[in-house]
Structure 1
Amino acid sequence: MIDFSREQFYEQERLIKMGIHVPDFEIDIKDKTFERAFVAEYGISYSDYKNIITKSIDLVNEENVVIANFELQTFIDYVFNNGIGTDKYQPFKEHFMLYGELAQQIGRDKKFNFSDTYATRHNRKLELATRPWIIYDGHVLYSYKSIYRSHIVLYERIRNGRLSCSSKEMTTFENKVNDKKGKAFNEAVFVFLSKELPNSDIKKEVKIGKNEVLVNEDKNIGDFDLLLKNDENKVIVGIELKDFIECRTPYEFLCAIKTYRYKLIHVYERCEWLDKEKMQLKKIYPSMDEAYRIKMIFMTHHKSSHKYMEKMEHGVVEMSLLEIIENPSILFE
């Protein structure tokens, strides 16, 4: 068995050891929304997908081989004609098998992009991790390890909201996953800081808008994920929390920079509001006065490469969760 958890980035282990653990989103495979999303994305149910894996492994074990190399019809007869159903073979082939004809579907305005073949890309639709069954010269080739690992990779991508989706249903499902992950991350940071900074007054999800406690007449401009007031240092800290993915390839790095820039637009908007409306915070913290300074922090789950690329505007400070865990008081410096 492969202990996939040991292959994750070392930083997550450090976060857990240091006293904070952001709950993982676990998929309820019996949930109707997930079932519909999986069928829409792959043409077969998740249950069928797992049964195909099981039958493929049974065939390897029965033949007592390490690397499967079976005639295609033998594979189809054993795996699909033996209970799963022959109608499941074609959608399974289209989404989980590598075969030569796929090359005709790569290109502009076609099913697959050229980038789906780039070795430097992660989460590609045409890679062994996605398609561990290979059709070659009338035979099917695979190994127990490759299909087991592919199953783990697929599950991890879905539950982490990282799957490259083709269907509307799976895209909607993944958006919900990311929304839940973001809320779990925010709550975990709130609980951690409340414990580590007992002398600070911490509020969460403080909105700014026309009909909110913090008023902006023009429009709603979002919220402060966290507000912290520290009387000893006479500072109020606004924190924007983002559970961005950890970049694994140059392409993901470039995508992350674009996302970062987009999110910063809204953070800068709130900073501009703070510059003009600082004393509105007295509605939240009645004991504050003009002597309090304001600090805005953009905090990400993992260390961001953006801070090494561009300077922040409006005095916004970039920090990672790991930096805060190592020294929570750094928030007030």
Structure 2
Amino acid sequence: MIVDVPAVEQELARIQRELTNSEVRTSLFNLVVFSPDAEKTMANEALNYLLGKRAARVIHIVNGAAHENPTEESRLDVSARCFIDTERKSVCFQEIVITNGSDGAGGAPGSWVPLLVRDIPTLILWQDTLCDNQDLLAHAQEQAEKLLVDTEQSVALGDPEDAILEVVHRIVVTDRIPVSDFAFKRLRTLQRLVASAFDDPKRTPLLDEISSVDLAGTSSPAGRLFSLWLADRLGWTIDGAHFRDRRNRPVAFNHTQVAVGCSAEVHIDLMTSERIHIAMQTAGCADVDYPEGEESHPVVSVPGNGELLLEEVDAIGSDALYRNALRVLDRY
């Protein structure tokens, strides 16, 4: 596949002229999406939320075509989507879809790097498996200011859970690449609820008295990330499938994917035989049961992929909480 960059730019300009007569806002960033999904369903779920909010050059690289049709060669298609903002200016996605065929040319950096708009940030949105695409991933990382992954989705696509943690640990901790993991970001509401349960100065000392934690209502990858976050915040070390606290006492961590009667819940058992129970309700609130009584809290719903993507394109930087959680894997 030969990429004629001037021809692509001319076609994008022509399409935009047909779509709008108003002034077109300048692209703020490049977003390169790697996905096995020829329909771009996963990407569009997030991109539709951004449409009209941020202008961007979006390059979709579809990796699954060679598996479905071994004789199909790589190809390139061009399109655009525009939305008129409140200032009567057009906010556009310039979209280039590169189908990576059996020749492998579509995924090669030489096919898509020349199409990046220079002097603006480049983000990689990786919506494919990570473990069996590491060469492609490594080439992509070299071109980007930030890598956006979703380990929950990658496991659903076939990545082994333990192996994917090793991959992201290497990228984030060893290679020091700025990474945000949407699976970790979606835990934010639950993390804040757990942290706030110990905000009262009378309860803060109980953080050193935790004997076990039971989490229900998240996927297995999300449950593992939650446990690593909690271990980092409390100074725990890994002990097989569980942990040890700062005083080297065992702390059990148990996880189930289904929560009964709520969307997610956390049971925290204390060495005093007391229990703290946190339950997120589908109605947008949370109930926290303490030994001395119950409290209800309004909570923000779990952010969707579009909201998360908007946050990431507006703040190019590493996720320190995620990096520190992954560093727990080095503590035995």
The structure where strand makes up a greater share of residues is 2
The structure where helix makes up a greater share of residues is 1
Q: Radius of gyration: which is bigger?
A: 1
TM-score between the two structures when normalised by the length of structure 1: 0.27
